[in-house]
Amino acid sequence: MFRERVSNNIYVFTSEIYAQVTAGAIVTQEGIILIDSLPFPTESREMATFLARTNSPGVRYVVLTHYHADHSYGAYLFPNADIVAHAKCRDLLIKHGEPALKAAQAEEPELDEVTLRSPSITFDEGDLSLQLGGRVVRLIHTPGHTEDSIMAYIEDDRVLFASDTVMPVPTIADGDTDALRASLKKVIDLPIENLVQGHGEVILRGEVEVVVEASLRYLNTIEKKVAKAIKSGKGKEWLQRIDIESCGLSRIPLNGLVQQIHEANLVTLYERMIKDK
């Protein structure tokens, strides 16, 4: 796990085991607000150990930015914290999260000790502000990557935990392209010093707009290319010819995962467009 401090008492933890997934912490005199929790117990525990050594009474809230395993599994290590999420996160954890955890545990003994924590504080409209020790963390619903996706914004520090709304390649296989576009536009509207992506490196102020614009352009491009393929009667296999570079992004980040996500995006769009025809 890689740890960095991005602002006064705001930390980012990046996994070295799984796809550079990130978690964050806002440390205050009255307790800690954790944003996501990493997937594997070794790293989640490493993060918990670091936080226990700060002069704060402990983790008070764990915000889950969405129900996906790589963001939510570590929450079980903070039994005294309230879990905060979008209302849909709760439903999705029960519906998809529980069976997925059982399947993952069968493959990965390290996950045996993981149990899913269900959110106890939820919101479904507008924003939700968490206030603790003089810090304010604004949670903003940003569907698109998933229905329940949220971002966490610390206005005083201009730090945005964008979660998977911003990552090296937008991911829509479990989400919705139009919703993701609208959520990406919400990102550009915020004044940002540091943007913490759901996966990958922290993005600094000067690059935020460039990165978000590239994501928007990517979504528009894949839609156009897939629509054209369908119109000219191409089969699903043909989609393999649409390489990610021709859609304006690089396949290099996240050790090959970006390429897999890109392929899944194309197939998802293809299937959706064929169905709507």
Smallest gap, in angstroms, from Cβ of residue 201 to Zn ion? 17
Site for Zn ion in 183-202 (CB under 5 A): none
- Which residue is associated with the tokens 């570079």? 245
Residue 148 or 164 having the CB closest to Zn ion: 164
Smallest gap, in angstroms, from Cβ of residue 154 to Zn ion? 21
Smallest gap, in angstroms, from Cβ of residue 68 to Zn ion? 4
Residue 211 or 229 having the CB closest to Zn ion: 211
* Options 60-68, 117-125, 177-185, 236-244: segment touching Zn ion (CB under 5 A): 60-68
- Which residue is associated with the tokens 């194309």? 266
Smallest gap, in angstroms, from Cβ of residue 128 to Zn ion? 20
Site for Zn ion in 5-44 (CB under 5 A): none
Residue 68 or 90 having the CB closest to Zn ion: 68
By C-alpha distance, which of 81, 76, 80, 16 is closest to 45?
Answer: 76
Q: Are 102 and 118 in contact (CB under 8 A)?
A: no
What is the rounded CA–CA span in Å between residue 57 and residue 28? 9
* Options 108-116, 163-171, 241-249, 258-266: segment touching Zn ion (CB under 5 A): 163-171
Starting at the edge strand that comes first in sequence, how are the strands of the sheet with 135-141 ordered? Answer: 127-132, 135-141, 150-154, 159-163, 194-197, 203-204
Phi, psi of 36 (to 5 degrees): 65, 175
By C-alpha distance, which of 130, 175, 129, 125 is closest to 149?
Answer: 175
Among 36, 147, 148, 164, binds Zn ion (CB under 5 A): 164
What is the rounded CA–CA span in Å between residue 177 and residue 120? 29
Residue nearest to Zn ion (CB): 68
Smallest gap, in angstroms, from Cβ of residue 58 to Zn ion? 27
Q: Are 14 and 22 in contact (CB under 8 A)?
A: yes
Smallest gap, in angstroms, from Cβ of residue 36 to Zn ion? 10
Is 147 one of the binding residues for Zn ion (CB under 5 A)?
A: no
Smallest gap, in angstroms, from Cβ of residue 216 to Zn ion? 19
Q: Are 169 and 258 in contact (CB under 8 A)?
A: yes
* Options 55-63, 77-85, 156-164, 226-234: segment touching Zn ion (CB under 5 A): 156-164
Site for Zn ion in 63-82 (CB under 5 A): 68
Phi, psi of 157 (to 5 degrees): -100, -10
Total of residues contacting Zn ion (CB under 5 A): 2
Residues at the interface with Zn ion (CB under 5 A) = 68, 164
